[in-house]
Chains A and B, each alone.
Chain A
C-alpha cells in the first residue's frame, strides 16, 4: 500500500528531487534515507533513491531498489517513470519505452513523460508510435509551432509525405500575423516544406512554392540551388542555365554547378571545343579558379587534352602545388592520359632543369618548378596503375638531392619502400620525414601509421603522443580513444593481431564498435534540440545518415578484422587464457616466442605509460584537486579489461563474431568480403540456410571470385552429413535453392 507523507516529509521529498537535479547526490541520499526511516515503504522516495544510486554508477543496486519500489507502489507514475529512466540510461530502450507507456497510462497529462517517450520512439525508429505521441503533444499545445513541425516530421519519416505537407500547410494557414523576415524558424520551415514537395516528385509545384514563398528565406544558397535543380527537372533549360550561371558567379569552384550548366546547354557530348569554351569563360573570369581549368581534363581527349594538360601542369608546377598528382590520378583510368601526363612532366623538367640553381626561379623554394615536376614523376611511378618503383626511386632521389629537407619528398620515398615490401625501411624513412618537421601533424600521423605497419605499436603510440593532450589520464591511448581516432585504433589492432596478441587486437576492434554505438546514441539529443532550433532539414539529414551509419568503410574494415580473428580463434583454440600463451601444442615455437616477446613489450609499454602519468601528476601540483575529481570519474568507468584478456578468453568466438557480422551483412551487403566471412561463420555454426544466403549473395556479386566455388563445395559436403537432421521445411528450401548454385 502506498504511504502518504506528512507535510514535513513531503517537503523533504522535494529537497531530494532538488538535490538530484543539482547533482548533489550525497545530500539527496541523506534526505531520502531520512524519509525512509519514518516511511520505509514509500515507493516514490525509494524510486528517487534508486535514481540517485544510478547516477552514482551503482546500476545494479538502483535496479533492484526501483523494482522493490514498484512492487510496493504499482500505481505510482513516478515509480514507473524512474524505472523507464533507469532503462534509458542503461541503453535498454525497448524496456524503457514500455515503462514510460505505463507511467503515461497512470498520468496521461504529464508532458514530461510524453516528451521522453516520444524521443525514445524516434530514437528507436518506432514511427507509428512517434506519430501517436506527437499527435497527443500537438493536441495539448497546438499554439506551439514546433509541435506542428514535429508531427510533420513524424509523418515524413514514416513515409507519409502528403500528410506531412498537410500538417505544415494547416499550421501556416492558422497564422495570422506575417512572420518577420529574420524569423529563422519560419524560413527553415518553409524550405522544409519545399523539400517535402520535391520529395513527392512534384517539381512543378515545388518550383511554384519556392518562387512564391521562399524568396525571402535566409538560406539563399539553398533557394538558388533548389531552383536550378527544379528548372532542370522541368526541362526549362534556358532558365536553368541562367540559374546555374548565377550559382557559378557566386562560387566558381563547385563542380556540380558546371555539370548542371553543361547538362542544360544542349552541347553534344563529343563536342569538346564547345564544352571547353564553357569552362574557359569562367577560367578567364576568375584567373585563380582551379575547377574551371581542372575539370575539362576529364572529358578532353587527344591533342586537346595534351594542350590543356600541359597548361595545367605548367601552372601547377610553377606554383608548386603539392596535391597536383593526387588531383590528377583520377585520369589514369584512361590509358592515353596515363601515358601523356608523365611525358608532359618530363618535358617540363627538361625546360626547367637547372632553374632552381641558376636563375633562382623558385626563390629557393624547392617545391616549385623542377622540384614539383620531380615530385610528380616520383608519385607517378609509385602509383599502382603506373608503377615502376626503380624509376620512382630515381625521381625521388633527384628531388631529395635538390632539397634534402623536404618532407613531401621523403614521405614519397617511404611510400616507395612500402610498395617494395620493405616495411621496416619504410617506417624508418617515414620517421625521418617526420623529424624534418616535427610540428606537422599530418606527417606525424603518417609516421605512426608506418610504425604500426611494422608492428611497432609502442613506438607508434609514442609518436602519436607528441600530438595528444599531455594531461590526459591514462596516456595517449586514452586520448586517442576519447578523440575517436579510428584509423589509429584499426591499425593498432591489426598490428597486435599480427603479433599474436589477440586480446589487444580484439580490444581495439571492440573499441571501434563502441565508438559507432556512441555515434548512434549521439543523435538522442538532437530529437528535441533540432526542433527547438528549427533546423529541420539538417535534422532529417542527420536521421537518415544515422540509419546508414555502419555502412562506413571504417566500420567495415574493423568489423571484418574482428570476424576473421574470431574465426581463426575458433579454428585454433588457445590453451592459455589470453591468447598470448598456448599454441605450443602445435609445436609452433617460433610463434610462441614472438608472442612472449610481444607480451613482454606490452608490459614494458604499460609500465612506461604508468610512470609517465605519475610523473605528470607530480610535476603539476596545481592539478591536484582536479586530478582527484577526475579520478572519481575514472573510478566509475574504469575499464576492467584494458588488455582484452577477457575478450580473448571467450568460449564462444563465433557467437562474439556475430555482433560484428550482423552489421556487416546488413549495411554492406554489396561487399563480397563480408559475405565470404559470413559464410565462414555460419557454416561453422551449422546455420546452413544463412551460409547459403551469404553464398548466394557472393555469387551474385562476383561469380568468379575464387572463394565462391570452394565455399559451394564445402556447403554441399557439410549438407551431405547433415541433411537427415534438418527440419523437412528447411530441407526443402535448401534442396531447391542449392540446385541454383553452380559449381562443385
Chain B
C-alpha cells in the first residue's frame, strides 16, 4: 500500500519517520492540496481507481483464495541441541547464537561434527 496517500513532503528512505501517515495531513490551503495531489500522482501508476477498473474483482477474489494461507511451513527437522554445545560454538567459532544453533542442528546436535564441518574450506 505503498504510495497511496504519501504526503508530498515525506522523504523516501530510512530517515522518514512516518507515524503521521495515520493522520491525514491537512494541507494549509486549497492550492497546497492541489499541488500535493498532483505530486503524489506523479509516480504512482497503480493508483487505486485505475487499477480497479482493469482488474476483475471476482477473479482477484478467486485468485486470492487459491493462494491459501501465505507462508508455507517448511519441514524443519527437530533436533535437540545442548545449550552447552551452542555456547562452545559461539565461543570457539565466534558465530552468532542463532547461526551456531543452526550449525549444530544441521549436524544432528553433534558439536564435534559441526565444528569439523565448519573448518572445511569450501573449494
Report yes or no: A142 in contact with B93, Cβ–Cβ below 8 A. Answer: no
B contact residues, total (Cβ < 8 Å): 57
Query: Does A368 interact with chain B (Cβ within 8 Å)?
Result: no
Min CB–CB distance B65 → chain A (angstroms): 11
* Residue of A whose beta carbon sits closest to that of B122: A669
User: Chain B, 3-36, contact with A by CB distance < 8 Å: what is the 0/1 string?
Assistant: 1100101101111011111110110000000000
Report yes or no: A174 in contact with B56, Cβ–Cβ below 8 A. Answer: yes
Contact of A524 among B14, B63, B71, B93 (CB under 8 A): B14
Which of A266-274, A426-434, A531-539, A584-592 participates in binding chain B?
A: A531-539
Report yes or no: B45 in contact with A128, Cβ–Cβ below 8 A. Answer: no
Contact of B63 among A51, A131, A170, A658 (CB under 8 A): A170
Q: How far is the CA of A132 from the CA of B67 in the complex (A)?
A: 13
Report yes or no: B17 in contact with A89, Cβ–Cβ below 8 A. Answer: yes
| Residues A144-173 near B (CB distance < 8 A) | 144-147, 167, 170-171, 173
| Residues B43-75 near A (CB distance < 8 A) | 43-46, 48, 51-57, 59-64, 66-67, 70-71
Report yes or no: B19 in contact with A51, Cβ–Cβ below 8 A. Answer: yes
Most A CB contacts (10 A, CB to CB) among B14, B57, B70, B85 go to: B14
Residues of A within 8 A of B60 (CB): 142-143, 174
Report yes or no: B51 in contact with A143, Cβ–Cβ below 8 A. Answer: yes
- A82-B17, A144-B51, A732-B112 known; A727 vs B119 contact (CB < 8 Å): no
Query: Does B116 interact with chain A (Cβ within 8 Å)?
Result: yes
Report yes or no: A524 in contact with B55, Cβ–Cβ below 8 A. Answer: no
Report yes or no: B70 in contact with A131, Cβ–Cβ below 8 A. Answer: yes
User: Chain A, 78-89, contact with B by CB distance < 8 Å: what is the 0/1 string?
Assistant: 100110010011
Min CB–CB distance A178 → chain B (angstroms): 9
Query: Does A637 interact with chain B (Cβ within 8 Å)?
Result: no
Q: How far is the CA of A363 from the CA of B19 in the complex (A)?
A: 70
| Residues B108-123 near A (CB distance < 8 A) | 111-112, 115-116, 118-123
Report yes or no: B56 in contact with A525, Cβ–Cβ below 8 A. Answer: no
Report yes or no: A141 in contact with B1, Cβ–Cβ below 8 A. Answer: yes
Report yes or no: B17 in contact with A51, Cβ–Cβ below 8 A. Answer: yes
Residues of B within 8 A of A140 (CB): 1
Q: How far is the CA of A605 from the CA of B54 in the complex (A)?
A: 66
Query: Does B88 interact with chain A (Cβ within 8 Å)?
Result: yes
Report yes or no: B63 in contact with A173, Cβ–Cβ below 8 A. Answer: yes
Query: Does B83 interact with chain A (Cβ within 8 Å)?
Result: no
Residues of A within 8 A of B94 (CB): 658, 687, 690
- A85-B19, A185-B46, A692-B119 known; A524 vs B13 contact (CB < 8 Å): yes
Residues of B within 8 A of A111 (CB): 1, 4, 21
Report yes or no: A18 in contact with B64, Cβ–Cβ below 8 A. Answer: no
Q: How far is the CA of A697 from the CA of B118 in the complex (A)?
A: 11
Query: Does A473 interact with chain B (Cβ within 8 Å)?
Result: no
Min CB–CB distance B64 → chain A (angstroms): 5
Min CB–CB distance A172 → chain B (angstroms): 10
Q: How far is the CA of A51 from the CA of B21 in the complex (A)?
A: 14
Q: How far is the CA of A103 from the CA of B67 in the complex (A)?
A: 27
Residues of B within 8 A of A98 (CB): none
Report yes or no: B2 in contact with A528, Cβ–Cβ below 8 A. Answer: yes
Residues of A within 8 A of B112 (CB): 729, 732-733
Report yes or no: A175 in contact with B54, Cβ–Cβ below 8 A. Answer: yes
Report yes or no: A529 in contact with B70, Cβ–Cβ below 8 A. Answer: no
5 more A-B residue pairs beyond the given contacts A167-B67, A532-B43, with a C-beta to C-beta distance below 8 A: A115-B1, A115-B2, A131-B70, A173-B63, A528-B3
Complex A-B: 26 CB contacts under 8 Å? A14-B26, A17-B20, A17-B23, A21-B25, A22-B9, A51-B17, A85-B19, A112-B19, A112-B21, A116-B18, A131-B71, A135-B67, A135-B71, A136-B70, A139-B64, A142-B61, A143-B55, A143-B57, A146-B2, A147-B1, A524-B13, A687-B94, A689-B119, A690-B94, A700-B121, A733-B116
Q: Which residues of B contact A (CB under 8 A)?
A: 1-4, 7, 9-10, 12-15, 17-23, 25-26, 43-46, 48, 51-57, 59-64, 66-67, 70-71, 85, 88, 92-94, 111-112, 115-116, 118-123
Q: Which residues of A contact B (CB under 8 A)?
A: 14, 17-18, 20-23, 47-48, 51, 54-55, 78, 81-82, 85, 88-89, 110-112, 114-116, 128, 131-132, 135-147, 167, 170-171, 173-177, 179, 184-185, 521, 524-525, 528-529, 531-534, 658, 669, 687, 689-690, 692-693, 696-697, 699-701, 727, 729-730, 732-733, 736-737
Sorted from nearest, which 8 A-B pairs have the closest CB atoms?
A135-B70, A174-B59, A111-B1, A697-B121, A17-B20, A700-B121, A525-B13, A170-B63
